[in-house]
């Protein structure tokens, strides 16, 4: 009898939970794991300084976030999705088909990707071309002909005589990671493009070009170290010969243990990433479902908090967390777009 | 028929092999001891690592500052207006106090570095002070406030062998901290925040309570559902069901389900509870449902084993004095099988407590600050909190991750102790 009662109570709560959906009083945010550390800080400040509840933030990855976000309009679906890249046209269409018509796009800042090693080792001075040659699956034939061979390089010296004769050993994120996507796009492709005949392929055979420029070698030198950037930092500390790939905020926090390598003549410093001279950085966005503004309490205030000078400004608390802020004029534009809630058009 | 002199008698054979047999026996025992020692060694290593890293998280650095609680500076004009008191510029007052403590800092950059000494949540502590006792307005008093996480890590690592954590500090910042320490204005206190607060992105303000309550609610739902359902299923299958192809089929399926990767249950939960029934994401209720699906096979299998172990003589004796089938089960079989079923339930619950994969699908891997107060509030669970902290860049989260693991282990020990106690109470001998 007791048990039946218990089951009945749980079933009853289940029903009431369904009604609870009808009035969600907190903002639900999904999306990129790169934006997650920044969005959470804003959410916390928002929760503490206003009477609204603290938004709930899930780290689902940029792609996963878009999928959830675009499922539909209504309290059951997230209000905001974070992304470490721009929304794709296919995703935009998916949104439109599911009735998510009005989306506001907000650019919040930049994130630098660092190639670093232990502070006890010598700082590396690399170019994107070096990194491409060292880490791509297929590279141009070393004899100079215009053909591709499987990556034959074993040491950095093989890649570029100016580099030390240490074996290539790079710890990086797995394919599911946004950092990996950005690394492939910004570093590998960037280095790949320096070969004119491969660059020419882009016009003739785009798919082949992408395969060549974005494939990471799988024969050992590139070691998948898991999504956890902290783990990469720890491993670099233990292995002086290895290089690692991680987000700038981890370099910022662990400056006593690791150093960033110079890429294309620039060190990954706050200033150089901010002004765009450090080549490996990517924009961070979030997307807002306009129909939810007014339905979910505090949406507008949250947007204002995120785009206030004290948050995403050049000396705001997000920059303390390692986000690279936008330039002054960019920030004014973003803040103005937020005021008018300008629709994203593609 | 005299035995030929060449064949040795049995005793000789035995004696000849005896040494070898003893040796084998010894080796066999040695293997057992070696396995146990290996296990113990691993456990010891794990514990020293976790406790070594995590014990410092139970303490938090506080900084004493002489603060002038000027109502003007706070922006409070009416002391009786709770809105004004709540909205006061407490962080500003703290900044003022820091500037007065280190008057030599004048440039903008230096001031920013200086403000970094206290946590950016310290203002809320001051607010609480004023809310409790508005009389302290317009007085000066010494207040102990939360130090920033970097300072906390520095102070804790000052006396360590590897040398102090200097992280992003400049020489100047270190000299400030040293001067504060010398004047006795820095103190390590027991970290109550860790047990009373929800998650935070500032390590010094982060607590485990949100995740703990989340785990508690989720497990309550799981237990309330999976135990009765599991026991009922086991009783029916064991006592009533006919042995035929269909029940065999069910049995095979239950055994298979016990070995299905837990993420599959998460996907199932996503499809049924969230997409079909449109329940909200990230709530312990849905988490409990999903974990119920996951733990049911374990509970059914162990409950069946426990029911099977009840001697048939007891059933027959009960039948013999005229008890009905239901009376036999409720009065005799179930009470006797209860300890075994509890063991199964506790294994299932322990498994559920440590699970993150299925919860990922239903949105319980999330940043949630507010401590949940019911099964329909968004929440996360202990293992997820550990995962999220392990993934955070801030250095001070390293020790908090280990501390959270200790809390999880503590939770598990309490749960197991409760089960052992219940089992002892219910145990009957025959």
Average pLDDT, integer, range A207-211: 85
Residue B5 confidence (pLDDT) above 80: no
Q: Which residues does residue A28 pair with via DSSP β-bridges, in sequence order?
A: A56
Structural domain boundaries of chain B?
Answer: 56-191, 209-426
Domain identity same for A253 and A332: no
Tell me B332's DSSP state.
I
B171 CB-contact burial (10 Å; exposed 0-12 / middle 13-18 / buried 19+): exposed
Chain A interface disruption, residue of B193, B279, B281, most A CBs within 10 A:
B281
Cα–Cα dist A256/A101, whole Å: 48
**How do residues A154-203 score in pLDDT, each as one tens digit?**
888 888 888 888 889 999 888 766 678 888 888 888 888 888 888 888 88
Percentage of chain A exceeding pLDDT 90: 13
- CA terminus-to-terminus distance, chain A: 60
Element at A69 (helix H, strand E):
helix A62-69
| Residue A14 within any structural domain of the chain | no
Q: B90 pLDDT band (50/70/90 cuts)?
A: confident
Domain identity same for A123 and A267: yes
Domain identity same for A117 and A263: yes
What B241-245 contacts at long range (C-beta under 8 Å, 24+ apart), as own/partner pairs, is none
Which carries the bigger pLDDT value, residue B7 or residue B254? B254
Q: Which two tokens stand for residue A332?
A: 């004014």
Domain identity same for A331 and A190: no
**How do residues B17-39 score in pLDDT, each as one tens digit?**
888 999 999 999 999 999 999 99
Count Cβ atoms below 10 Å from residue B334 Cβ, excluding itself.
19
Domain identity same for A158 and A230: yes
DSSP 3-state assignment of A253?
Answer: helix
Query: What is residue A20's predicted lDDT score, i.e. its pLDDT?
Result: 47
A58, B278: Cβ pair inside 8 Å? no
| Residue A259 within any structural domain of the chain | yes
Domain identity same for A224 and A120: yes
Domain identity same for A132 and A264: yes
Task: Provide the domain count of chain A.
Answer: 2
Chain A touched by B40 (CB under 8 Å): no
A6, B224: Cβ pair inside 8 Å? yes
Q: Which residues lie below 8 Å from residue B180, measured CB to CB, with a gap of 6+?
A: B63, B101, B117, B186
Residue A317 confidence (pLDDT) above 70: yes
Query: What is residue B322's predicted lDDT score, i.e. its pLDDT?
Result: 93
The chain-wide mean pLDDT, for chain B, equals: 88
Distance, in angstroms, between A226 CA and closest chain B CA?
11
Cα–Cα dist A101/A290, whole Å: 8
Average pLDDT, integer, range B252-278: 90
A254, B366: Cβ pair inside 8 Å? no
Question: Which is it for strands A103-118 and B140-146: parallel, antiparallel or unpaired?
Answer: unpaired
Average pLDDT, integer, range B355-364: 89
Query: What is residue B105's predicted lDDT score, i.e. its pLDDT?
Result: 81
What CATH number has the domain spanning B209-426?
Answer: 1.10.3720.10
Domain identity same for A287 and A223: no
* pTM listed for this prediction: 0.80
Distance, in angstroms, between A268 CA and closest chain B CA?
15
Distance, in angstroms, between B55 CA and closest chain A CA?
20
* Touching A: B residues 299-358, CB under 8 Å: none
CA dist B67 → A11, A81, A248, B74, B98 (Å): 54, 42, 36, 12, 9
CB-CB: which of A57, A229, A256 is closest to B366? A57
B398, A253: Cβ pair inside 8 Å? no
CB-CB: which of A7, A230, A256 is closest to B165? A256
Helices (H), B55-145: 71-74, 82-86, 90-101, 108-115, 122-132
- Domain range for A291 is 24-111+282-340
A230, B370: Cβ pair inside 8 Å? no
Chain A touched by B267 (CB under 8 Å): no
CB-CB: which of A13, A39, A317 is closest to B375? A13
CB-CB: which of B366, B367, B394 is closest to A253? B394
* Touching B: A residues 254-313, CB under 8 Å: 254-256
Element at B62 (helix H, strand E):
strand B59-68
Distance, in angstroms, between A59 CA and closest chain B CA?
6
CB-CB: which of B167, B365, B388 is closest to A256? B167
| Residue A77 within any structural domain of the chain | yes
Chain A interface disruption, residue of B116, B118, B201, most A CBs within 10 A:
B201
Which DSSP string corresponds to A1-52?
-HHHHHHHHHHHHHHHHHHHHTS--S-EEEE-TTTHHHHHHHHHHHHHHSSS
Residue B328 confidence (pLDDT) above 70: yes
CA dist A150 → A137, B182, B251 (Å): 6, 62, 52
| Residue A15 within any structural domain of the chain | no
E strand segments, A60-102 = 80-83
Chain B interface disruption, residue of A230, A254, A258, most B CBs within 10 A:
A230
Query: What is residue A19's predicted lDDT score, i.e. its pLDDT?
Result: 45
Query: What is residue B361's predicted lDDT score, i.e. its pLDDT?
Result: 87
| Residue A64 within any structural domain of the chain | yes
Domain identity same for A166 and A251: yes
Query: Last residue of some domain: A281, A307, A322?
Result: A281
A230, B393: Cβ pair inside 8 Å? yes
Tell me B205's DSSP state.
G
Domain identity same for A143 and A264: yes
Query: What is residue B177's predicted lDDT score, i.e. its pLDDT?
Result: 86
A300 CB-contact burial (10 Å; exposed 0-12 / middle 13-18 / buried 19+): middle
Average pLDDT, integer, range A315-344: 84
**How do residues B381-424 score in pLDDT, each as one tens digit?**
999 999 989 888 888 898 999 999 999 999 999 998 988 888 88
- Decide if A156 contacts A164 (C-beta within 8 A): yes
Which DSSP string corresponds to A107-142?
EEEEEEEEEEEETTSPPPEE-HHHHHHHHBSEEE-T
Q: Which residue from A minimizes the CA distance to B281?
A: A76
Query: What is residue B130's predicted lDDT score, i.e. its pLDDT?
Result: 85
Q: Which residue from A minimizes the CA distance to B391?
A: A228
Distance, in angstroms, between A141 CA and closest chain B CA?
40
Domain identity same for A169 and A232: yes
Q: Which residues does residue A82 pair with via DSSP β-bridges, in sequence order?
A: A31, A286
B369, A43: Cβ pair inside 8 Å? yes
Chain A touched by B187 (CB under 8 Å): no
Cα–Cα dist A173/A33, whole Å: 13
CA A294 to chain CA centroid, nearest Å: 29
Residue B43 confidence (pLDDT) above 90: yes
Distance, in angstroms, between B341 CA and closest chain A CA?
16
A20: which chain B residues are within 8 Å (Cβ-Cβ)? Answer: 280, 376
A47, B394: Cβ pair inside 8 Å? no
Chain B interface disruption, residue of A13, A44, A315, A317, most B CBs within 10 A:
A44
A252, B365: Cβ pair inside 8 Å? no
Chain A interface disruption, residue of B203, B392, B398, most A CBs within 10 A:
B392
Cα–Cα dist A108/A188, whole Å: 25
Average pLDDT, integer, range B157-186: 79
Provide the number of CB pairs (under 8 Å) joining chain A to chain B: 113
Average pLDDT, integer, range A75-80: 89
Distance, in angstroms, between A14 CA and closest chain B CA?
7
- Decide if B65 contacts B97 (C-beta within 8 A): yes
Q: A47 pLDDT band (50/70/90 cuts)?
A: confident
Q: Which residues of B10-28 are buried (b: 16+ CB within 10 A; e: fewer)?
A: eeeeeeeeeeeeeeeeeee
The chain-wide mean pLDDT, for chain A, equals: 84
Average pLDDT, integer, range B233-255: 91
Q: Which residues lie below 8 Å from residue B229, measured CB to CB, with a gap of 6+?
A: A7, B292, B296
Domain identity same for A86 and A225: no
B201, A53: Cβ pair inside 8 Å? no
**How do residues B219-229 score in pLDDT, each as one tens digit?**
999 999 999 99
Query: Last residue of some domain: A254, A281, A308?
Result: A281
Chain A touched by B200 (CB under 8 Å): yes
Residue B188 confidence (pLDDT) above 60: yes
B202, A44: Cβ pair inside 8 Å? yes
* Touching B: A residues 104-133, CB under 8 Å: none
Residue B202 confidence (pLDDT) above 90: no
Write the CATH number for A104: 3.40.190.10
Cα–Cα dist A103/A88, whole Å: 13
| Residue A157 within any structural domain of the chain | yes
Query: Last residue of some domain: A231, A263, A281?
Result: A281
Average pLDDT, integer, range A76-98: 90
Q: Which residues does residue A289 pair with via DSSP β-bridges, in sequence order?
A: A103
B280, A20: Cβ pair inside 8 Å? yes
Average pLDDT, integer, range A41-54: 88
CB-CB: which of A17, A252, A315 is closest to B280? A17
Chain A interface disruption, residue of B269, B280, B326, most A CBs within 10 A:
B280
Which carries the bigger pLDDT value, residue B128 or residue B48? B48
């Amino acid at each position: 009898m007791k048990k039946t009662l218990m089951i009945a109570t749980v079933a009853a709560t289940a029903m009431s939970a369904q009604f609870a959906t009808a009035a969600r009083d907190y903002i639900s945010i999904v999306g990129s794991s790169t934006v997650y550390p920044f969005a959470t800080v804003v959410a916390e400040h928002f929760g503490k300084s206003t009477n609204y509840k603290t938004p709930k933030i899930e780290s689902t990855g940029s792609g996963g976030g878009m999928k959830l976000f675009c499922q539909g309009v209504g309290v059951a679906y997230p209000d905001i999705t974070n992304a470490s890249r721009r929304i794709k046209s296919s995703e935009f269409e998916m949104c439109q088909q599911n009735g998510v018509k009005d989306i506001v796009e907000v650019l919040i800042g930049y994130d630098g990707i660092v190639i670093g090693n232990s502070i006890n080792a010598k700082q590396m001075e690399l170019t994107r071309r070096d990194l491409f040659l060292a880490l791509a699956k297929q590279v141009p034939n070393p004899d100079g002909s215009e053909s591709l061979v499987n990556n034959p390089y074993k040491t950095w010296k093989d890649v570029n005589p100016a580099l030390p004769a240490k074996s290539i050993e790079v710890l990086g994120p797995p394919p599911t990671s946004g950092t990996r996507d950005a690394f492939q796009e910004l570093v590998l492709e960037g280095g790949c493009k320096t070969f004119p005949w491969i660059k020419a392929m882009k016009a003739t055979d785009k798919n082949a070009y992408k395969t060549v420029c974005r494939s990471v070698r799988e024969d050992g030198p590139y070691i998948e170290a898991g999504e956890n950037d902290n783990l990469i930092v720890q491993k670099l500390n233990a292995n002086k010969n290895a290089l690692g790939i991680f987000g700038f905020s981890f370099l910022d926090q662990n400056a006593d243990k690791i150093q960033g390598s110079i890429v294309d003549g620039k060190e990954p410093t706050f200033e150089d990433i901010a002004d765009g001279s450090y080549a490996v950085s990517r924009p961070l966005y979030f997307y807002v479902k306009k129909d939810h503004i007014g339905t979910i309490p505090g949406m507008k205030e949250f947007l204002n908090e995120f785009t206030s000078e004290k948050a995403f400004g050049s000396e705001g608390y997000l920059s303390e967390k390692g986000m690279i802020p936008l330039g002054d004029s960019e920030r004014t534009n973003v803040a103005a777009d937020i005021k008018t809630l300008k629709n994203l058009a593609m | 028929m005299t035995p030929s002199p060449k064949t040795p008698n049995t005793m000789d054979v035995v004696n000849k092999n005896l040494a070898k047999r003893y040796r084998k026996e010894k080796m066999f025992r040695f293997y057992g001891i070696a396995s146990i020692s290996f296990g113990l060694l691993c456990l010891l290593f794990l514990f020293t690592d976790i406790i070594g890293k995590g014990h410092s998280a139970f303490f938090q650095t506080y900084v004493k500052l002489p603060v002038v609680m000027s109502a003007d500076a706070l922006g409070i004009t009416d002391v009786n207006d709770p809105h004004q008191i709540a909205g006061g510029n407490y962080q500003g007052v703290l900044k003022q106090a820091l500037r007065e403590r280190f008057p030599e800092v004048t440039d903008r950059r230096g001031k920013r570095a200086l403000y970094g000494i206290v946590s950016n949540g310290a203002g809320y502590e001051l607010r609480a002070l004023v809310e409790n006792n508005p009389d302290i307005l317009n007085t000066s008093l010494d207040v102990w406030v939360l130090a920033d996480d970097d300072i906390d890590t520095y102070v804790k690592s000052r006396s360590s062998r590897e040398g102090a954590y200097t992280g992003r500090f400049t020489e100047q910042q270190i000299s400030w901290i040293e001067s504060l320490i010398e004047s006795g204005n820095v103190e390590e206190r027991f970290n109550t925040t860790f047990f009373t607060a929800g998650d935070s992105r500032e390590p010094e303000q982060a607590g485990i309570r949100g995740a703990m309550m989340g785990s508690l609610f989720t497990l309550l739902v799981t237990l309330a559902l999976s135990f009765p359902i599991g026991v009922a299923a086991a009783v029916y299958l064991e006592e009533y069901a006919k042995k035929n192809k269909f029940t065999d089929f069910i049995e095979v399926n239950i055994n298979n389900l016990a070995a299905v990767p837990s993420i599959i249950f998460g996907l199932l939960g996503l499809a049924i509870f969230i997409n079909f029934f449109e329940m909200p994401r990230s709530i312990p209720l849905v988490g409990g449902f999903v974990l119920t699906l996951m733990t049911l096979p374990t509970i059914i299998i162990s409950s069946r084993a426990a029911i099977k172990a009840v001697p048939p003589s007891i059933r027959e004796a009960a039948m013999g004095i005229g008890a009905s089938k239901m009376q036999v089960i409720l009065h005799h079989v179930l009470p006797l099988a209860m300890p075994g079923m509890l063991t199964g339930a506790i294994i299932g619950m322990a498994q559920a407590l440590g699970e993150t994969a299925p919860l990922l699908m239903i949105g319980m891997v999330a940043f949630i600050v507010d401590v949940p107060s019911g099964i329909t509030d968004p929440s996360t669970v202990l293992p997820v909190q550990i995962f999220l902290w392990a993934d955070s860049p801030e250095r001070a989260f390293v020790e908090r991750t280990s501390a959270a693991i200790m809390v999880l282990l503590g939770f598990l020990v309490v749960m197991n102790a409760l089960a052992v106690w219940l089992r002892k109470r219910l145990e009957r001998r025959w």
